[in-house]
A and B are shown apart, each in its own frame.
Chain A
Amino acid sequence: MPDGGVPVLDVKDLKTVFRTRSGEIHAVNSVSFDLRPGELLGVVGESGSGKSVTMMSLIGLLPSPPAEVRGGTVMFDGEDLLKVREERLRALRGARIGFVFQDPMTSLNPVFTVGYQIMEPLRKHMGLDKQAARNRARELLELVGIPDAARRLGDYPHQFSGGMRQRVMIAIALACDPEVLIADEPTTALDVTIQAQILELMKELREKLGMAVIWITHDLGVIAGIADRVMVMYGGQVVEQAPVRELFGNPQHPYTRALLKTVPSVSGARAEKLAVIEGQPPILSSAPAACPFRARCPQAFDRCERENPARVPVGPGHDAACFWDPATGGPRDV
């Protein structure tokens, strides 16, 4: 597991709100994390927990309006991405920070050839001429495991299957050798066998190319198999963060613990009914002044109503935002 070194990406206190007709939605609340070189950071949480919005905020991909990044810093290679001009962000996007999105069926432009779409960032960011870009595009398709790459460059997205399209998306994201790859639920829209293939491909590519990856998912099984470190998000906040083994072995936050119980196990005796986290995720119409999980939390007590817990260290490289200590079964002394 890669460790130490200066983080490639250092996010502090990121706040994003959406302005809507019926008021503001505080989608991301004081999120802080870092990403180390070559590391794969898994980000988990249920739908609406702010995973995707956080990552899109980093690099100005949210439509504004309605989205508005309210505060924080995003340090990347000595620059604060929230302060630089739009042109600078454009020069980083697709060049040093690559994206893979959830639905490969709609994420490619249907009227341009796959080759054109891969060559676009190559020509823009690396200044390659047509022939050089074409050669590089062919190499990229080979890299992501698309057979007969040279011929397939001239094909349109609808001539590819879902898994193959996601491979094309990965090829586009990797085109300019990015230092950071943000993968937003890249396997969610694919069926299980294809998911496994894409996961294998990503593991292999990461070893080969050595970029840092942020992998957003709500599938804990995927995270266990691929991540070095995991960040759990709930209600627009990071509630727990730990190396992958530590998180699965010693979950601290009640939400993480509940989340782990919802995963079906194939080994052992046929278990009792799958656990469900009762209730609904919060609607974030105001900046939270209390713990966002309190309404669904089996351990909630009076302090959770009054204060929003900060993340405190609970183990080596492990922190959690909770007033309750599972080790003692009582309130944590913070």
Chain B
Amino acid sequence: MFTFTLRRLLLAIPTLLFISLIIFLLLDFAPGDPTAQLPLTIPPEVKAKIRESLGLGEPIHIRYLLWLKQFAVAEPLHAFDATFGTHFGEGMQRVISWQTRSPVGDIIAQRMPQTLWVVGLSYVLGTLIALPIGVLSAYRQYSWFDQLGTFVSMVGYSVPTFFTGVLLIVIFAVNLGWFPSIYDTTHVVSDWDSFVFQVRQMVMPVAVLALYNAAQISRFMRASMLDNLGQDYVRTARAKGMSEKVVVLVHVLRNSMIPVVTVIALGVPTIFGGAIITEQVFKVNGLGQLLITAIYANDIPMVQTLTFIFAILIVLFNLIADVLYGILDPRIRYD
């Protein structure tokens, strides 16, 4: 397993380099000009100077390699320095956002907590709700519980989050006034009251996303449980006199989790991608919102860096899913 993981990690390097090149070329070929938003009164010569100062005068391969150096060397060193108070990265050029002129890494670090709190929590919550629902739905197939679960997850999965989000805002923020409709990212939790406020402002976005995630995962869980409940080994476990609890929660669940764990692991990178729509609806300025504004502003370093981080996460969680698969299923041995 260890050599497998190591080999896969090494193999990930050329994969990621290739992905980064593709992203870079795509963004470079895309129409758009970082100075397009500047006032028309600025003379064209000045605009050309500005573009040159942004590094756009260099040939494409130089720009790509410079970005790569900034991303892969300068940013990690700066992060290391910031954590341990060292000075390895001093004087190195970091990836700078064209919009804000501040390092992309710092902005991402600022936005990350909002996204992790709202989107991450909704994913964890959605999973925790989905697993028992899936198990029970399958065990009591076609019962009223299963029918209700099927209905709710169909609704949760097929109704888009921008609709459920706005619906919740209309009901709970506008009519009932229970929760704020806009997420305040500057809010600092310092005491009990501010904590309660934080919870209240998180309720609606988390609920919208958790419903969506739970709907999806509970369907997977149910299908996987159903696949396994009819297997011969389940009859064997019953014939051994095992209680239903042991039969379902030990014998069947362990087998059913194999595909579901993969689905859950592969869904984790989407957390970091942020739920772009939900973040917009509730004005949570997390990573998804950051990406959207960067795209509008032709902030290529920001878009490039964010997209590439998502790519890294996807590759990483693919690997994690494979490793988990091998741990859960003894029939799969990678070495």
Which residues of chain A have a CB within 8 Å of any CB of chain B?
59, 61, 90-95, 98-99, 101, 103, 106-113, 120-121, 124-125, 156, 158, 169, 172-173
Contact = CB atoms under 8 A, between A and B. Distances in A.
Interface of B: 231-233, 235-243, 246, 251, 254-255, 258, 328-331
B254 A101 contact: no
24 contacts: A61-B239, A90-B241, A90-B243, A94-B241, A95-B241, A98-B239, A99-B239, A101-B235, A103-B232, A107-B233, A109-B251, A110-B233, A110-B329, A111-B254, A111-B255, A112-B251, A120-B242, A120-B246, A121-B240, A121-B241, A156-B330, A169-B236, A172-B236, A172-B240
A103 B238 CA distance: 16
Nearest to B332: A158
B329 A111 contact: yes
Contact of A125 (B232, B235, B241): B241
Nearest to A86: B244
Contact of A93 (B231, B232, B241, B246): B241
Nearest to A90: B241
A106 B233 contact: yes
A173 B241 CA distance: 11
Contacts of A121: 240-242
B328 A111 contact: yes
Contacts of B236: 99, 101, 107-109, 169, 172
Contacts of B232: 101, 103, 106-107
Given A109-B255, A111-B328, A120 B233 contact: no
Contacts of B239: 59, 61, 93-94, 98-99, 101, 173
Contact of A61 (B233, B235, B255, B258): B235
Contact of A111 (B237, B242, B246, B330): B330
Q: Which 9 A-B pairs have the closest CB atoms?
A: A94-B241, A94-B240, A99-B239, A93-B241, A106-B232, A109-B233, A156-B330, A107-B232, A121-B240
A156 to B, nearest CB: 4
Nearest to B239: A99
Central interface residue in B232, B238, B239, B331, by most chain A CB within 10 Å? B239
A99 B254 CA distance: 23
Contacts of B238: 61, 93
A201 B328 CA distance: 34
Kindly name the residue among B237, B240, B251 whose own CB sees the greatest number of chain A CB atoms within 10 A.
B240
A106 B241 contact: no
A332 B243 CA distance: 50
A197 B201 CA distance: 70
A43 to B, nearest CB: 17
Contacts of A94: 239-242
Nearest to A156: B330
Contacts of A156: 330-331
A308 to B, nearest CB: 32
A59 B239 CA distance: 9
A115 B331 CA distance: 16
A110 B241 contact: no
Given A101-B232, A101-B235, A110 B255 contact: yes
Nearest to B330: A156
B256 to A, nearest CB: 10
